[in-house]
Chain A
Amino acid sequence: MLSFLGKRLLLFIPTLLGVSLIVFLMLQMVPGDPVNTIVPADATEEERMLVTKELGLDKPIAMQFIYWLGQMLQGDMGHSIVKRLPVADLLLPAVWNTVVLAAASAIFSFGLGIFIGVYSAYRPKSWIASVCNALGLAGIGMPNFWVSLILIGIFSVSLGWFPSSGMYSVGRVDLPDLLNHLILPTIAASLTSLGVMTRMVRSTIAGLLQQDFVFALKAKGARSRTILRHVLKNGMPTILTVAGLQFGYLIGGSVLVETVFAWPGIGQLIYQAIGQRDFPIVQSGVLVVAVTFVVINLIVDAMHAVLDPRVRHS
């Protein structure tokens, strides 16, 4: 067990290094001299040199990377060019808001996905099984930003049931108001996960129902609830692994949903920063989400090993 986790942790460090290298290289790809965004247009050559030196841009690129990495590790993500604030101060609340939305989507899509999946594995001919099929297809083929627009059109504009944007109404910071704002973005963000989960749960459970231990239980006269408990216990490692990965996708993939609903999360922050060409925010935002994604994958691996002895011994 420990050696398994040790191996994973050992892989974790180069992965993080690689991820930060890619994010660093992204900024290098930006066309034009970064100095131009800082100095006024009529600056002399000497002033430009001074700024270049101050930013460390005269150093070799490898040195620049190491310096940047050191700063990041100390929690110094630089300053927003447009908002003139430390990037970290802008990112932290946004990360929290994104996690709120991702958690809501996870609860919604995992709960409903497991229910529909298990039910349609038991009754493959029921209407819920057809719903499962439709969800699988729709969830994978529908762009979530379009679903967001349709939901806003129907439930906010036409029916007026839910607010169309933001996280709280002006002057209110309470739970009912938050839930009211959460419903539409949650549905839009979780559609893909819901499709993946229902399909995967159904095929896992349907496969388990064919196994000998189920027949043995039936022959013993076990109640269907007991059988379900045994089947679920066997299917859990697989289901939890996929669920964990989906949670990662929910955090990273809700950029577009956040943009449509003006949800004050990291996706919207990145989107605004792209428009304003505020690259320190884009860079740190992408880095924070990617690192979160890697950490979640690590936790999923560890969880899988705890639940399923076959994994840690292979």
Chain B
Amino acid sequence: MASNIQHLTEATIGKDRVKEPSRARELWQAFCKRKMALAALIVLMVILIGCLAAPWTAPYDPYEGAVKDRLLPIGTPGHLLGTDEQGRDLLSRILYGGRLSLLSGFAPVLLAVLIGGGLGIAAGYFGRLVNMVIMRSLDIVYSFPAILLAIGISASLGPGISNVIISATVVFIPPIARIAETAVKEVRKEEYIEAAISSGASHSLVIRFHIFKNIFNRLFVYSTTQIGICLMLASGLSFLGLGVAPPTPEWGFMLNNLKQVIFIDPIVTIVPGVFIFITSLAMNLVSDALSDVLDAKG
């Protein structure tokens, strides 16, 4: 009898499973239908891999320049994107600099999701006093213009890329917490939560299995919209000299250096800015598509 059932299971249910495409595959196919978003994703991947593999992809040493090669224009043979004010190859500096720039674009959002997401879930799940304390405190951080708060914290902590990441994280915690809180409040009303609690599930179990899985898409999509903004904010802080110290390459700080020779070469600042722009634009296009595909509006 037992072997009979097993036989049945394999023959019918097993076969069905092969036919049905997985959810991830479905989502990927839906994403690929959006040509703009797919192109943006490819651009993003090229930039990301190019920067991470900078020791192999960069044609020159990013720290060494030749005085006779200063400020070569874009498209000079041997220097695809030209050279900077010290004769260093711009493409190499972009690739090496992208590591810190991208890090300071992604890391604060990731940290803010962990901290802000946690606070938002706690506020939304427990409600009442916990909610009031958490959300009202975060509202105060909200009442600063983002860039100014980041500048203030960065300036107090002193220059350094880790301080840029800390101050940007503080800026992104309140909006992410707010999204998480709103999402949790909606899920919290569902009957299956009540059922889980009355059947004796602990809070941590309910949060991990029911709440988190249900708000994950919204939280994820919203955080991807913040990465482009964070990249611009962090490069802005670096531009003010609050990030890396010379001669370390970083996109925002490269603009600061190139600013000084703008009267010799008026469009010298175009290259690092275009990379910041393209990266954040591509990120926005990808997150637009993600919000459609996952059907999760931020």
Contacts and interface: CB of A to CB of B under 8 A. Distances in A.
B236 interface: yes
Interface string A10-42: 000011001101110011011100000000000
A152 B263 CA distance: 9
B144 A19 contact: yes
Interface string A144-177: 0110011011100110000000000000000000
Contacts of A252: 144-148
B152 A157 contact: no
A289 B143 contact: no
A27 B266 contact: no
A235 interface: no
Interface in B209-235: 228-229, 232, 235
Given A140-B284, A143-B235, A290-B143, A153 B151 contact: no
Contacts of A145: 236, 239, 255
B240 A26 contact: no
A29 B157 CA distance: 6
Interface in B15-61: none
B151 to A, nearest CB: 6
B193 interface: no
Interface residues of A, number: 49
Classify the secondary structure of A's interface with B.
helix
Interface stretch (B4-12, B82-90, B119-127, B134-142): B134-142
Contacts, number: 143
B131 interface: no
Given A137-B281, A275-B241, A149 B273 contact: yes
Contact of A29 (B153, B252, B268, B276): B153
B273 to A, nearest CB: 3
A153 B266 CA distance: 4
A260 to B, nearest CB: 7
Nearest to A32: B158
A153 B145 contact: no
Contacts of B252: 143
Given A141-B277, A152-B262, A15 B155 contact: no
A19 B147 contact: no
Interface string A66-94: 00000000000000000000000000000
Interface in A106-154: 137-138, 140-143, 145-146, 149-150, 152-154
A290 B144 contact: yes
B169 interface: no
Given A15-B139, A146-B255, A256 B147 contact: yes
B145 A290 contact: yes
B266 A293 contact: no
Contacts of B144: 19, 22, 252, 286, 290, 293
Given A153-B267, A256-B236, A290-B148, A141 B155 contact: no
B150 to A, nearest CB: 10
A289 B143 CA distance: 10
A281 to B, nearest CB: 10
Interface in A281-298: 282-283, 286, 289-290, 293-294, 297
Contacts of B152: 23, 26, 282-283, 286
Nearest to A147: B273
Contacts of B156: 26-27, 29-30, 279, 282
A152 B148 CA distance: 24
A140 B236 CA distance: 14
B269 to A, nearest CB: 4
Nearest to B268: A153
Interface in B150-190: 151-153, 155-158
Given A252-B145, A256-B147, A274 B240 contact: yes
A154 B227 CA distance: 30
Contact of A149 (B140, B228, B259): B259
Given A249-B145, A256-B147, A293-B144, A158 B266 contact: yes
A260 B137 contact: no
Given A140-B280, A274-B242, A286-B144, 14 more contacts: A19-B140, A140-B229, A143-B273, A143-B276, A146-B269, A146-B277, A149-B262, A153-B262, A153-B269, A153-B270, A255-B240, A271-B240, A286-B149, A286-B152
The 7 closest A-B pairs by CB, nearest first: A252-B145, A18-B140, A146-B273, A153-B266, A157-B266, A141-B281, A149-B269
19 contacts: A19-B143, A26-B152, A27-B156, A29-B153, A31-B158, A140-B280, A140-B284, A143-B236, A143-B277, A145-B255, A154-B267, A157-B262, A255-B147, A270-B151, A274-B240, A279-B155, A282-B155, A290-B148, A293-B144
